Amino acid sequence: MTPSLRAIGWPYAAQVEDAAWQETLSAHPQARPARVTEQHRTGYVVAEGPDAGFKAESPPEWQRASSYRKGGIAPEDRAAVGDWVLLEGKKIVALLPRHTAIKRGAAGEHYKQQLIAANIDTVFVVCGLDADFNPRRIERYLVLIGGSGVTPVVVLTKADKALAENANAIDDARAALEGVAQGVQVVAVNAKDPDSVAALAPWLGAGQSIVLVGSSGAGKSTVTNTLLGVEKMKTGEVRESDSRGRHTTTHRALIPLPSGACMIDTPGMRELKPTGEEDIAENFGDIEALAEQCRFRDCKHAKEPGCAVRAAIDAGKLDAARFANFLKLRDEVAGAANQLATRLNQKANDKVQNKALYKRIDDKYGRH
């Protein structure tokens, strides 16, 4: 593979090691790989190297409205930013299997999944050290990231302003995240200072793919601009009342960095819904361990006698707000899991019904 592909995150310095990738590449010997750098309602922009993006024609099935109904293409089954595709001319002919995928439940009443980014090595969870700082929101991001195969790193921006107001601001923030970001690196930076942002270098090596998530005004675009050394991404003013910004990033874009890594900057996500595939125990192992000590196996941790969880809260060993967030996320994940199971069962039933229908047609009219 060429150095140009490597510069936009191609994961292999030499021979392709993934057997599924080898099979797909062999099935399309005339095709060449490219990466999806932008996803729009009307199509895709792909690249074969830095600053080499161009519009590509998607397969016919991707051009139809996404649907979970029989014969439809689910939205998560078509390419998204970060995906590797195979091209013949400017036409996409295949999608290389994903190594990782960060997803969320799409906004709305009906169950859908929305792919945030594919084939990502590290996700920077960006949060400002101002009124934007919210351990519960960071906790929610980490739950969504858990199980995706992607390494999370919490990036606290606006460190300079926070330290000017409180010399212990960073230490206080780390203490607040001690139970939230267990085993997760926490890095505090001044997003406008290249020397400060250099602390992110360990995750920005050649061939690495990074995605930034966080609320609007947290500093995602500012971090990106500083790493690039140019004002490529728009930044907006932040309201003093709540430190929230306007949504200056309006689509997901993949941006090659001088370090050899590439970064995806995403719009601020106002609604973070689980897909039902998350494992709550990964982020709340301490609460799960306490629950095992409860007198009753089906303890709801409300008013039952011998509840180890409530005892820990009363003793100040477990943050009540963290436990409340655990209950909220647990119920949301369980609800999404039920919706996912219903959808999968419906698809399985459709297959059974179609098979029975075709058998009746064959019996009556012969092979169809």
Report whether 236 belongs to an annotated binding site.
no
Q: Which of 67, 40, 48 is nearest to 3 (CA)?
A: 48
Report whether 307 belongs to an annotated binding site.
yes
Report whether 301 belongs to an annotated binding site.
yes
* Residues paired with 152 in a beta bridge: 123
Q: How far apart are alpha carbons 77 and 66 in whole angstroms?
A: 9
Asked whether 158 and 190 are in contact (CB, 8 A), the reply is: yes
Q: Report the phi/psi class of residue 323: left, alpha or beta, with left for phi > 0 and alpha for psi in -120 to 50.
A: alpha
The sign one gets for the Cα dihedral 284, 288, 289, 290 is positive
* Residues paired with 103 in a beta bridge: 115
Report whether 241 belongs to an annotated binding site.
no
Report whether 66 belongs to an annotated binding site.
no
- Between strands 151-157 and 185-188, the pairing is parallel
Backbone torsions φ then ψ of 337, nearest 5 degrees: -65, -40
Report whether 146 belongs to an annotated binding site.
no
Report whether 122 belongs to an annotated binding site.
no
Q: Which of 155, 153, 162 is nearest to 208 (CA)?
A: 153
Report whether 157 belongs to an annotated binding site.
yes
Report whether 72 belongs to an annotated binding site.
no
The angle, 0 to 180 degrees and rounded to 10, between the axes of the packed helices 135-145 and 320-365 is: 30
Report whether 40 belongs to an annotated binding site.
no
Q: How far apart are alpha carbons 301 and 29 in whole angstroms?
A: 59
Q: How far apart are alpha carbons 275 and 110 in whole angstroms?
A: 12
Report whether 162 belongs to an annotated binding site.
no
State the DSSP code for 238. Answer: B
Report whether 217 belongs to an annotated binding site.
yes
Got the DSSP string for 154-184? EEEE-HHHHHHH-TTHHHHHHHHTTTTSTT-
Side chain identity at 117, as an amino acid letter? A
Report whether 218 belongs to an annotated binding site.
yes
Report whether 221 belongs to an annotated binding site.
yes
Report whether 167 belongs to an annotated binding site.
no
* Residues paired with 182 in a beta bridge: none
Q: How far apart are alpha carbons 116 and 271 in whole angstroms?
A: 13
Could you tell me which residues are annotated as the binding site for Zn(2+)? 294, 299, 301, 307
Could you tell me which residues are annotated as the binding site for GTP? 157-160, 214-222
Could you tell me which residues are annotated as the binding site? 157-160, 214-222, 294, 299, 301, 307
